[in-house]
Amino acid sequence: MTNPIPLHSRHAAVLPDWLALYYDRPIELTHGEGRHVWDADGNRYLDFFGGILTTMTAHALPEVTKAVSEQAGRIIHSSTLYLNRPMIELAERVCALSGIPDARVFFTTSGTEANDTALLLATTYRRSNQILAMRNSYHGRSFSTVSITGNRGWSPTSLSPLHTYYVHGAVRTRGPFAALPDDGFTAAAVADLEDVLGQARGGVAALIAEPIQGVGGFTSPPDGLYGAFREVLDRHGILWISDEVQTGWGRTGEHFWGWQAHSQNGPPDILTFAKGIGNGMSIGGVVARAEVMNCLDSNSISTFGGSPVTMAAGLANLAYLQEHDLQGNARRVGGLLLERLRAVSAGVPAVREVRGRGLMAGVELTEPGTDRADPRAAAAVLEAARTRGLLLGKGGGHDTSVLRIAPPLSLTVAEAEEGAEIIGQALRTIQ
């Protein structure tokens, strides 16, 4: 017999209050295909958020569902205590793609866990619990990753196992350096980094940074900033962790990894990834050179990280991504989408900025004539877009006033045009 209590009420009765839901009337997604999803009432939506940048290639991609089904028919679980062919094969692919010499991969089940592992490696290798992080950043919901998250809205406690120093530079159009030209901005951020290091007691373990901040509202520094930071870090022996959970796998279009826009001196010491590689399956991971990865001197395993089923999905998804040049599609269609978003936003007083790269775009909303974030406007636009058949995300500092747009990388030109038109219509509803 069907439970007569509405699903939203059942959600509230058994799940935490802080487990956020979108929309005044939350929707239940029941199935998807390509770039579209359907809710329990039969409404069809163009998906411009991909389950928080996770549905990277397409919903119900036949190649991935086939790989999952076939692997599940053989064996679903074994743990890392046994040799695992799909895990080894995916690790070989990721090592080669990472650019990190003599690389090793440890698979996890999420980006939070990947960043947590990266912190464990860096602090152990450097014998220091001091971490550099960027203001406005987000790195996960675990106790350690919350403690390096520079976004107040996503950091519920000040207690921490780490000593974190926050530096400027990740947000180009806000803060004390916003009025400077790109080279001046980078020089000022480097000077700030040097100043912060002067306040640290002893050695710092690592800098962790998202090449493009995800939850922070798709903000980014000028190209080359983290490369300039790297020169300072290298002088002090400090490791660089690039959090590629949202920017990796070609989403930015121009590069396969976000760090590649910043460093001419080689890859980061540690790279973390998750989300898109599994296309909805729970995959995260850490890549580091062997010297860093092998610095732990105690036993460790993973019960669920690198499971045969998720690894099979990752292999099929990565193969599809590369064989169909979805990075190139992100560059071409993403460029068109950004152009259209700027066009439909023109003349809307609430739009402060349209920014992004590839299929990773943000539309920042403020109170007209000011720089004050307007989260109510962002929520209203999300609602208006949903009623017109488009799903968006939101983020941006602690005020969540940025529309986050990140559709699957197989997005077509027609779908980009359709989505931009709906966003234009939704923006006009708040004027």
User: Is 31 a member of any domain?
Assistant: yes
Question: Of 323, 355, 390, which marks where a domain is finished?
Answer: 323
Q: What angle do CA 317, 320, 322 make, to 5 degrees?
A: 110
| Residues composing the chain | 431
35 and 103 assigned to the same domain? no
Structure tokens at 284: 């995260």
Its domain, for residue 239, covers 64-323
Task: Specify the 3-state DSSP secondary structure of 189.
Answer: helix
With both helix axes pointing from N to C terminus, report the angle between 375-387 and 413-428 in degrees, rounded to the nearest 10.
Answer: 120
Q: What is the pLDDT of residue 382?
A: 98
Q: What is the pLDDT of residue 194?
A: 97
CA distance 289 to 156: 33
86 and 212 assigned to the same domain? yes
Number of folded domains that form the chain: 2
Nearest to 381, CA basis, from 369, 392, 389: 392
CA distance 393 to 46: 13
User: Is 352 a member of any domain?
Assistant: yes
Task: Specify the 3-state DSSP secondary structure of 361.
Answer: strand
164 and 272 assigned to the same domain? yes
99 and 170 assigned to the same domain? yes
85 and 225 assigned to the same domain? yes
264 and 158 assigned to the same domain? yes
Tens place of pLDDT per residue across the chain (431 aa): 568 789 999 999 999 999 989 999 999 999 999 999 999 999 999 999 999 999 999 999 999 999 999 999 999 999 999 999 999 999 999 999 999 999 999 999 999 999 999 999 999 999 999 999 999 999 998 888 888 888 877 788 877 889 999 999 999 999 999 999 999 999 999 999 999 999 998 899 999 999 999 999 999 999 999 999 999 999 999 999 999 999 999 999 999 999 999 987 799 999 999 999 999 999 999 999 999 999 999 989 999 999 999 999 999 999 999 999 999 999 999 999 999 999 999 999 999 999 999 999 999 999 999 999 999 999 999 999 999 999 999 999 867 899 999 999 999 999 999 999 999 999 999 98
Nearest to 134, CA basis, from 53, 206, 201, 202: 206
Q: What is the pLDDT of residue 2?
A: 65
Give the side-chain half-sphere CA count within 13 A for 368.
8
Other beta carbons less than 10 A from residue 349's beta carbon:
12
306 and 372 assigned to the same domain? no
Give the side-chain half-sphere CA count within 13 A for 129.
7
236 and 317 assigned to the same domain? yes
Q: What is the pLDDT of residue 154?
A: 78
User: Is 393 a member of any domain?
Assistant: yes
Other beta carbons less than 10 A from residue 200's beta carbon:
15
pTM of the model: 0.95
User: Is 1 a member of any domain?
Assistant: no
Question: Of 283, 308, 323, which marks where a domain is finished?
Answer: 323
User: Is 249 a member of any domain?
Assistant: yes
